[in-house]
Amino acid sequence: MHVELAAAGPRDVPVLENLMQLYKYDFSEFEAEDVDRDGRFPFVGFGSFFAMPDPHAYLVRVDGNLAGFALAYRDHAFRNPTEPTWWMHEFFVMRAYRRRGVGERVATQLFETLGGTWEIGQVPDNVGAQAFWRTVVGRYTGGDYEEFVIDDERWRGPVQYFRSDGRTR
């Protein structure tokens, strides 16, 4: 199985928007959001994502087939507001590719590609995502990461904080 993390840009927005519909469908289990009259989930456009500080969008392919996406951007850490960090904005692997190591391989490639300090948050009810990120970050760091819970206007839920020895930007 060949897993590829390919950089995506504004030209890939239509593909990202289509994959976002699948992501929002999966996520509707945790956030009560209905589809609109056209049968699509409302969506905040990718224009706002690409306007964030240092945005990085990636398409995930498995054996050449689209399998998901990852979005990360540079921000200030929740843990220490003076520290620049990467925030995992969205991370999606289609169900057909889950539990096959695809998500972990993609996350690891992303950590290595961008390097630096990371924070990855999950909504409180998404215990599957919490277990996934604790496992992935734990393996990647050899257990050398912090987890804390935020419950304010900035974020609600657990956040893993760690440093990557990958290529630092």
In a domain, 59, yes or no: yes
In a domain, 169, yes or no: no
Contact status, residue 24 vs residue 43, Cβ threshold 8 Å: yes
54 pLDDT above the threshold of 50: yes
Q: Strand, coil or helix: what is 153? A: coil
In a domain, 77, yes or no: yes
In a domain, 66, yes or no: yes
In a domain, 22, yes or no: yes
Q: Where residue 169 falls among pLDDT bands split at 50, 70, 90?
A: very low
pLDDT of residue 168: 40
**Any idea of the CA torsion for 26, 85, 131, 107, to the nearest 10 degrees?**
70
pTM exceeding the 0.75 threshold for the entire prediction: yes
Q: Where residue 53 falls among pLDDT bands split at 50, 70, 90?
A: confident
In a domain, 91, yes or no: yes
Q: Where residue 166 falls among pLDDT bands split at 50, 70, 90?
A: low
Residue 120 sits in which domain range?
3-164
Q: What is the pLDDT of residues 63-97, one digit of tens each?
A: 999 999 999 999 999 988 999 999 999 999 999 99
Q: Which of 67, 158, 93, 69 is nearest to 120 (CA)?
A: 158
Considering only CA atoms, give the Rg of the chain: 16
Q: In this structure, what CATH number is given to the domain that contains residue 80? A: 3.40.630.30
Domain count, the chain: 1
Q: What is the pLDDT of residues 3-40, one digit of tens each?
A: 999 999 889 999 999 999 999 998 888 887 888 888 88
In a domain, 84, yes or no: yes
In a domain, 143, yes or no: yes
Q: Where residue 44 falls among pLDDT bands split at 50, 70, 90?
A: low
